[in-house]
Amino acid sequence: MILTKHTSYSVRILIHLAISPGRKVSIASIAETYDISRNHLMKLSQNLARLGYVVGYRGKGGGIALARPAQNINLGHLVQQIERNLQPADGIVPGQPSQDMPLFDQAAEYARAAYIETLSKFTLADLVDDAEGKRPTMVRMFTPEPLKAAATPTSPGIS
């Protein structure tokens, strides 16, 4: 699935803020870091504030900061709130499409729900760890036991 720039930039803002927890960061510094328009970042930060992810401070020395700890920001929930294309169709219970729907629409809803479920295994803190070179081990998140090395195929008669 491809996310919009709106979502990508919103996540970048949050990562930037989470790297310096408790510190106010100016929109100008984020714009410079990611080479994104200040006006665009203002709109995104206002949306993130409306959703309760950031707090804005006006005036000299103002900026934005995370409204809650990074480990309390679930990526599945965040992306579902921001990404308009990931909302279930009207009248659909998320992850439970109606049997009356065309098969493709049912499959698409199951795929959408699985995508959000997978993202929900991660938090903003995981993205910060990755940005700082401390990537979480995804194998442990998606398999009940560690992957085993594949057996080396042998040919008959060769020892």
d(CA 32, CA 10): 15
For 61-107, write each residue's pLDDT tens digit.
889 999 999 999 999 999 999 987 777 666 676 667 778 888 888 88
For 104-132, write each residue's pLDDT tens digit.
888 888 888 889 999 999 999 999 987 66
* Domain chopping of the chain, boundaries: 5-131
**pTM (two decimals):** 0.76
CATH number of the domain at 5-131, out of 3.50.50.60, 2.60.120.10, 3.90.1150.10, 1.10.10.10?
1.10.10.10
Ramachandran region, residue 147 (left: φ > 0; alpha: ψ -120 to 50; beta: rest): beta
